[in-house]
A and B are shown apart, each in its own frame.
Chain A
Amino acid sequence: MFDVAVHITLLVLMPLPMLGLINRVKSIAAGRKGPPLLQPLYDVVKLLQKGAVYSRTTTWIFVAGPIVTLASAILAALIVPLASTTSPFGFPADVFVFAYLLGVGRFFTMAAALDTGSAFEGMGASREAAFAALAEPALFLALMIVCVPADSACFGDAFSAIPAAGGLLRHPGLLLAALALGVVLLAETSRIPVDDPNTHLELTMIHEVMVLDHSGPDFAFIQIGYALKFFALGAVLVHLVLPIPATGWMAPVLFVAGQAGVAITVGIIESVMARLRLSRVPQFLIGACVVAAVGVLVLFTGGRP
């Protein structure tokens, strides 16, 4: 019961402030004071209190999009272990279900974007579809590198086996998996260098442009879902990199520090580089697939632990 409480608490408290942390890092790097850490939370609360404006073109798909996206993101974040090596909501073969839940959210976000009939939103959906399809093999290969040595396609078993295998430093395949997963995180959550969340030009957006017409509580759902997705993928990455213990007070501390590290790293990446030209993004993602594939080969040639 206690671990369920910890899991839910982290799930409720952390995702939105993590986005605030990214913005804070970026503003420090740019020499600005920046918005408060909890600004994303204030935004969501305000959005939840507002009315809404709907395009005359839209149908129920437009309303269903944010709801389904948020629902699948909540489930995905429940499946991933947080401040422990296992999740209280884990089950056998949950890594595949995790990846497909993210897919459900993406499918409905893209459908809701096309529902507006806007060329801009179509453009965003089209880019999202292309990049997500290329990121998918990298995600699965990275997960396989973690799961195959553990003999279980369940996050809990896989993460429990990492310390026994010597962790990241003894396990070059894991390092490559973490690298590929990092790229997947940036692509799936539309961060630089794949997408620029701060851009103000619709023509260059990916995620932002898909949700241009959403407002009020619908938009709040989208923001929460987005934060949860970032949080869940970040949690997987943290477990690959940090030896989080199964129990004890160190586990939540390390986990929170790790997630903060993910947010700070993303913030630094966004501060020091520009987004890639759109035609370069596929190369970036195929690169991640190749890195993960090399990781698999390392795993098999190096003798499975």
Chain B
Amino acid sequence: MQGSALADPLSRILTVALVLTLLSVALFIIAGTLSALLGRLDRAALAVGTAGSLLACAVGLAGSVMALMDGGAETVASSWRLPIGAISMGIDPLSAFFCLCIFLVCGLGALFGAGYLRRGWLGRRRLAPALAFFNVLAASMVGVALARDGVLFLLAWEAMSLSSFFLVTFEGDRPETRRAGLVYLIASHLGLVPLIVLFVLLGGATGSFDFAAILAAGAPSALVATTCFLLALAGFGLKAGFWPLHAWLPEAHPAAPSHVSAVMSGVMIKLGIYGLLRTLTFLGEPPEWWGFVVIVVGIVSGVGGVLHALAQHDLKRLLAYHSVENIGIIALGVGLGIVGRANGNTTLSFLGFGGALLHVLNHGLFKGLLFQGAGSVAHATGTRDIDSLGGLLRRMPVTGTTFLVGSAAISGLPPFNGFVSELLIYVGAFVGAVELPASSALWTLAVVPALALIGGLASACFVKAFGVVFLGEPRTPAAAAAHEAGPSMRWAMLLGAGLCVLIGVVPLVALRLVEAPAFALSGAAALPEGVVDVLSAVAGIALALGVLVAVLAGLRWALLRGRDIRQAATWGCGYEAPTARMQYTAASFADPILAPSESIFDRHVHAEGLVGYFPVAASHRRHLGDMAADRVLAPGVDALLSVFRRIDFLQQGGVPRYLVWVLLTVVVLLVWQLGAF
């Protein structure tokens, strides 16, 4: 794979893998520009934009897989001089792995989006911006993963935030979408501040933002390293959606068109994880407590995210909160990896980082699939309110079945992909508990019950979501009139579901994908003993489960053949005239879980009870306020505002007063400079 070094000393080795990934960025940009230029020709823009995305994803996918299999050292493409310094791009296993996730999820997203936009929005809205910004978003995400210097990284990061902002505000004429867009825009820019400081700190020692130079300068001092770590945790954590910085996420993700939500939730927030991991590589050997901090962040995000998700009535909002939960699971893995690294335990470190990386890929696949399913439901029924749906599996068999696969996968159940990555994290936590001294072992062991609780609650939440939306009887005429999604949407969901099953059934292939980046992060030189055995056993269990299900299904068929099989109404304790409204709702389903946690969360109940002997109507609605937003962020913002109010006399809008400030500033500067001489 190693190409010969070119004559120009600035352009170092160019590999085929890197050329392909860079080509995909170019293709994204060309497709985006072309679809933007096509403007009012919606159909043409749709065709060009989608075809361009798909081609770029295919090319890039080939490139990133080549780079991963090669597993070679970083290769830097070309450098060109700008006033702010050299700008370089390159690909190493870590970049290649995140590129792989981006290309997979974006490819499926573009495929789904083609049908979704055509059927849902053609003729109702200009499609060109949606397609152009989708391609720009994909290109900038790849740019973030390939950037090899701080300036390009931040530029790509900003392009990513802005292009996704324009996608979130696709339905900008709706007030709630505008509000969501604003929240998102402010949140992303708040997150940018710690990142700028981070890169200034990192580059400060060497005077260069180039990653190679930062690495060559060696690990910074403990104080600088800790500051950098905390800045990265805040800045990248906000993008990733760590609790309590996730508050923007359940606002912004549901507002975007579904294929965009799939990409944002599936991969864009993962670039926060990428950033955190990349920063860790600059900081030398991490102290152990960093790992403990990340584990605690993971537990809080995981449990908090899933409890909030249980309380949601809006299908896409529910999925957005599950992104917070899954980011928590990824953080658990990263935390274990750091603890392993700090203790020189490469087995723990490999399992932690490997599990986290595999969960990045897995979550991209099943969350992309679930958001697409939600989009398909919203398109077919015109609503995302879970309690207005029901009975959709009969009307939308493909959407329903693939949504079931996604639900089981996100609940971490075998034989689907979520189980594989969670198992790696479990085994990692167990290795830590066994091999580390007791004071560290308790921290890693805490991951086990936390992950078990998160899994149990996620399972409850997805039984609720799948059951209330797709099973039973339709609760409204809109749900009764639902229709199956179009062919490109169906294909995208089927492919996504197929990948979820594939990784669950042949987990060793998935291990092969995360191997190289996990080696790089953990410092392990070879696969830890036993990992292959565990994953082979998982494959065996998946196979055994499949065979047993087939045998039992055959047995049932043989037993019932020729016997009396009748159709009847569902048993209602003898009540003969049930209505669809009598079915259990999502709110009632979640109640036994949320009731014990009522003291922690703010639950708002709006109930009109039954009045009189012959009550006519009653209603009951409840919703859960976001604890982070209401109790942590809002008071913080209020405190900040009260400080600003004290100094707002400076800005009164009168020109004479401003002139006074200017004069005063000049005088102060002059005095200061004179004093210096």
Contacts and interface: CB of A to CB of B under 8 A. Distances in A.
A112 B394 CA distance: 14
A231 to B, nearest CB: 17
Nearest to A135: B456
Contact of B449 (A103, A104, A140): A140
A71 B549 contact: yes
B433 to A, nearest CB: 5
A42 interface: no
B570 A111 contact: no
Contact of A92 (B434, B457, B459, B537): B537
Contact of A75 (B423, B467, B545, B567): B545
Contact of A133 (B414, B453, B563): B453
A195 B266 CA distance: 40
B583 A118 contact: yes
A3 interface: no
B416 to A, nearest CB: 10
B677 to A, nearest CB: 65
A153 B552 CA distance: 30
B393 to A, nearest CB: 5
Contacts of A123: 584, 588
A129 B564 contact: no
B565 A51 contact: yes
B568 A153 contact: no
Given A126-B590, A144-B448, A153-B430, A52 B563 contact: yes
A82 interface: no
Interface string A272-305: 0000001100100010010001001100110010
A122 B588 contact: yes
A68 B549 contact: yes
A233 interface: no
Contacts of B541: 75, 97, 101
A110 B463 CA distance: 7
B459 A111 contact: no
A139 interface: yes
Interface stretch (B28-36, B91-99, B468-476, B628-636): B468-476
A94 to B, nearest CB: 7
Nearest to B458: A133
A97 B394 CA distance: 32
Interface in B377-396: 390-391, 393-394
A73 to B, nearest CB: 10
A71 B548 contact: yes
A144 B533 contact: no
The DSSP consensus for interface residues of chain B is helix
B414 A100 contact: yes
Contact of A118 (B393, B570, B589): B570
Nearest to B441: A300
Contacts of A122: 467, 583-584, 588-589
A282 B450 CA distance: 17
Interface in A226-280: 278-279
A136 B434 contact: no
Nearest to B568: A53
Contact of B583 (A117, A139, A218): A117
Given A54-B567, A120-B573, A122-B589, A93 B426 contact: yes
A289 B456 CA distance: 14
Given A139-B452, A217-B559, A133 B472 contact: no
Interface stretch (A21-29, A55-63, A166-174): A55-63
A129 B463 contact: yes
Given A93-B427, A117-B580, A118-B583, A127 B393 contact: no
Contact of A100 (B394, B412, B553): B412
A174 B132 CA distance: 61
A203 B273 CA distance: 46
B552 A70 contact: yes
A86 interface: no
Contacts of B560: 51-52, 216-217
A74 B548 contact: yes
B593 interface: yes
Contacts of A297: 442
**Majority SS at the chain A contact face:** helix
Contacts of A217: 555-556, 559-560
B530 interface: yes
A217 B553 CA distance: 11
B321 interface: no
B423 A136 contact: no
A125 B467 contact: yes
A71 B552 contact: yes
A70 B537 CA distance: 20
Contacts of B468: 114
Contact of B456 (A54, A56, A121, A133): A133
Contacts of B445: 144, 148, 296
A72 B445 CA distance: 27
A125 B570 contact: no
Contacts of A114: 463, 466-468, 471-472, 584
B336 interface: no
A211 to B, nearest CB: 11
Nearest to B426: A96
B580 A96 contact: no
A72 B419 CA distance: 15
A115 B423 contact: no
A96 B423 contact: yes
Contacts of B430: 93, 144, 147-148, 153
Given A53-B566, A92-B534, A126 B592 contact: yes
A216 B569 CA distance: 16
B540 A91 contact: yes
A152 to B, nearest CB: 8
Contact of A221 (B462, B471, B552): B552
Contacts of B556: 63, 67, 217-218, 221
B570 A213 contact: yes
B213 to A, nearest CB: 43
B571 A93 contact: no
Interface in B525-579: 530, 533-534, 537-538, 540-541, 544-545, 548-549, 552-553, 555-556, 559-560, 563-573, 578
A97 B459 contact: no
Given A68-B549, A93-B423, A144-B445, A116 B472 contact: yes
A114 B533 CA distance: 37
A100 B442 CA distance: 23
B408 interface: yes
A267 to B, nearest CB: 27
A46 interface: no
Contacts of B544: 75
Given A67-B552, A93-B427, A126-B589, A51 B570 contact: no
A72 B542 CA distance: 10
Contacts of A183: none
Contact of A132 (B434, B460, B559, B590): B460
Given A71-B552, A279-B595, A117 B391 contact: yes
Contact of A48 (B427, B455, B559): B559
A130 interface: yes
A54 B568 contact: yes
Contacts of A133: 453, 456-457, 459-460, 593
Contact of A91 (B456, B537, B545, B563): B537
B596 interface: yes
B582 to A, nearest CB: 5
A50 interface: yes
Contact of A55 (B411, B453, B538, B569): B569
11 contacts: A50-B563, A72-B545, A91-B537, A92-B530, A116-B570, A127-B592, A130-B592, A132-B456, A132-B459, A133-B593, A296-B445
Interface of B: 390-391, 393-394, 404, 408, 411-414, 419, 423, 426-427, 430, 433-434, 438, 441-442, 445, 448-453, 455-457, 459-460, 462-464, 466-468, 471-473, 530, 533-534, 537-538, 540-541, 544-545, 548-549, 552-553, 555-556, 559-560, 563-573, 578, 580, 582-584, 588-593, 595-596
